[in-house]
């Protein structure tokens, strides 16, 4: 069982370009999340999805979009990248079947640099 | 809105000594609290969580945490630290029912010297 996979591992991107970060989980978890990690700020939630077909905005959603067409995949898209989006991006998933927050499991991350 | 504070950016201890990483939280209602650890260039790994019940929670790698409602704290502890415990530690909170979104603290870097 791989858990959560993210691609690419790292990417250098020119400002203004479009970029999609991929996230796939094989745990059949209902909920999925995207975070960005910046030094001194911890992890901040960008977008989330409680179940396939639904998405919601987190703490820092501007400049990002997500979709949840199925249970396993949760891509994050930067429509027009800016240097302030340089960060490490983590995807996570959790099981919400009991109606209470369960442990979130994290992918290995994508290091994105926008020049 | 919920929030988490980790008042120490860095904690330095000698191997074999007790390790404590502090966390305080603010949330409406009953909190669900988590501790995660991150090793260099890796994703976050779950250590332990408090949902309800016993205030002392035991987790992975010999870590434990004590939930203190009156002090709104959830400090992480290990009786005898190892060099391999050197990592970045995050505390996180969610308000619970029907809200699964976590709020993370800024993180505490733990260095255990041999």
Q: pLDDT tens-digit profile of A81-109?
A: 999 999 999 999 998 766 667 889 999 99
**In a 3-state reduction of DSSP, which class is residue A50?**
coil
Give the contacts of A12 (CB within 8 A, at least 6 positions apart). Answer: A113, A115
Chain A residues closer than 8 Å to B100 by CB? 31, 48, 50, 94, 96, 101-102
Query: For chain A, what percent of residues have pLDDT higher than 90?
Result: 85
Check CB contact under 8 Å for B100 and A96.
yes
A88 touches chain B (CB under 8 A): no
User: What is the CATH T-level fold of the domain B3-113, as seen in this structure?
Assistant: Immunoglobulin-like (2.60.40)
Look at the block and give the residue holding tokens 């994703």. B43
Check CB contact under 8 Å for B98 and A105.
no
pLDDT at A98: 63
Check CB contact under 8 Å for A40 and B97.
no
Smallest Cα distance from A82 to chain B, Å? 23
Query: In chain B, which residues have pLDDT < 50?
Result: none
Q: Report d(CA B92, CA A92) in Å as an integer.
A: 14
Check CB contact under 8 Å for A42 and B96.
no
Q: What is the DSSP letter of A8?
A: -
Q: pLDDT tens-digit profile of A40-63?
A: 888 999 999 989 999 999 999 999
Q: Are strands B73-78 and B19-21 parallel, antiparallel or unpaired?
A: antiparallel
Q: Report d(CA B57, CA B31) in Å as an integer.
A: 14
**10 Å Cβ neighbour count for B55?**
11
Evaluate whether A115 touches A12 at the Cβ level (below 8 Å).
yes
pLDDT at B105: 94
Chain B residues closer than 8 Å to A102 by CB? 100
DSSP of B41-101: TS-EEEEEEE-SS-SEEE-GGG-EEEEETTTTEEEEEESS--GGG-EEEEEEEE-BTTB--
Check CB contact under 8 Å for A42 and B107.
yes
Dihedral (C-alpha) A104, A105, A107, A113: value to the nearest 10 degrees? 20
Which among B25, B19, B103, B30 is positioned nearest to B71, based on CA atoms? Answer: B25
pLDDT at A1: 56
Nearest to A101 among B44, B100, B104 (CB): B100
Is the domain defined by A4-94 classed in CATH 2.60.40.10?
Answer: yes
Nearest to A43 among B90, B94, B96 (CB): B90
Whether residue A34 is predicted with pLDDT greater than 90 in this model: the reply is: yes
């Amino acid at each position: 069982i791989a858990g959560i996979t993210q691609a690419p591992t790292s990417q250098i991107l020119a400002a203004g370009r479009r970029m999609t970060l991929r996230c796939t989980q094989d745990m059949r978890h209902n909920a999925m999340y995207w975070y960005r990690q910046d030094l001194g700020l911890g992890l901040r939630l960008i977008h989330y999805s409680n179940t396939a077909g639904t998405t919601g905005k987190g703490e820092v959603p501007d400049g990002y979009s997500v979709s949840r067409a199925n249970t396993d995949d949760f891509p994050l898209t930067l429509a027009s990248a800016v240097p302030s989006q340089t960060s490490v991006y983590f995807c996570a998933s959790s099981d919400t079947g009991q109606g209470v927050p369960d442990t979130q499991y994290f992918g290995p991350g994508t290091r994105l640099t926008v020049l | 809105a919920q929030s988490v504070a980790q008042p120490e950016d860095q904690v330095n201890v000698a191997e074999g000594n007790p390790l404590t990483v502090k966390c305080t939280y603010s949330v409406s209602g009953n909190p669900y609290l988590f501790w995660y650890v991150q090793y260099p260039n890796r994703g976050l790994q779950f250590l332990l969580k408090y949902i309800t019940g016993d205030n002392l929670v035991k987790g992975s790698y010999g870590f434990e945490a004590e939930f203190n409602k009156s002090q709104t704290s959830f400090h992480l502890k290990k009786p005898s630290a190892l060099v391999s415990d050197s990592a970045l530690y995050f505390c996180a909170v969610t308000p619970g029912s029907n809200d699964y979104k976590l709020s993370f603290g800024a993180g505490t870097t733990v260095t255990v010297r041999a």
